[in-house]
Amino acid sequence: MNTFKIKVYADGADKNSMLELYKDPAISGLTTNPTLMRKAGISNYASFAQDILLTIKNKPLSLEVFSDEFDEMYRQALIISGWQENVFVKIPITNSRGESAQPLIKTLSDEGVKLNVTAILTLAQVENTLASLNPNTSAVISVFAGRIADTGRNPENIIRAAKAAISKLPKVELLWASVREVLNIFQADKCGCDIVTVPPDILKKAELLAGKDLTELSLDTVKMFERDAKAAGYQI
């Protein structure tokens, strides 16, 4: 993992995993979202966030608002931002009705709130967000490249165009989100992304397999088949 130019963020909501990854020098930051938190069984958002922030102090941590109304998103963003200096507040590019969050993004950025604008899938959304950001306030633009790929489109062209667009704002970083496989980390690095968010299972796979000799991996695969066939006791 240390061979990549790109910064690797761990994406998840399991407390023990997050705190362990925080200690890893190869991990530059952490992110989470309400969906991951719900899957992890978290019922009290504030308690969970403030608990992990007792340890996660020296690396960026992105925490997302969870209201669908912009006034309430604003209120939540100010509270979340106030918890600690290393917190970035995740704001979705729209609400669930498809209404643009750009006015809210502009207001918060102008007030100095560090943002992670999330759920972006189009270059137009990137450009509109850039127009709303204060150049003096740090921000992250999260392009969900994995979801773009899920539609059969190659996300690399959008990522490269987004990277070119943000080059005018030195305090804005581009993040490759929704990693599905180890290859995506290499793609994000090649495209010049600043950050890639990776779930713990893909991180483990990358540490185990990235760059491994393919002949050796082929033999490992055959050994797995042989081992599992014996364990199953198959006969013909």
Taking a C-beta distance cutoff of 8 angstroms, is the pair 121, 128 a contact? no
**One of 90, 114, 168, 212 is an active-site residue; which one?**
90
Q: What are phi and psi of 6, to 5 degrees?
A: -70, 150
Q: For residue 184, which phi and psi values (nearest 5 degrees)?
A: -60, -30
Query: Are 109 and 133 contacting, i.e. CB atoms less than 8 angstroms apart?
Result: yes
Dihedral-angle region of residue 98 (phi above 0 means left; psi in -120 to 50 means alpha; beta otherwise)? left
φ, ψ for residue 147, nearest 5 deg: -70, -35
Q: Rounded to whole angstroms, how far apart are CA atoms 202 and 205? A: 5
**Catalytic residue status for 90:** yes
Structure-block tokens of residue 185: 């980390």
**Catalytic center residues:** 90
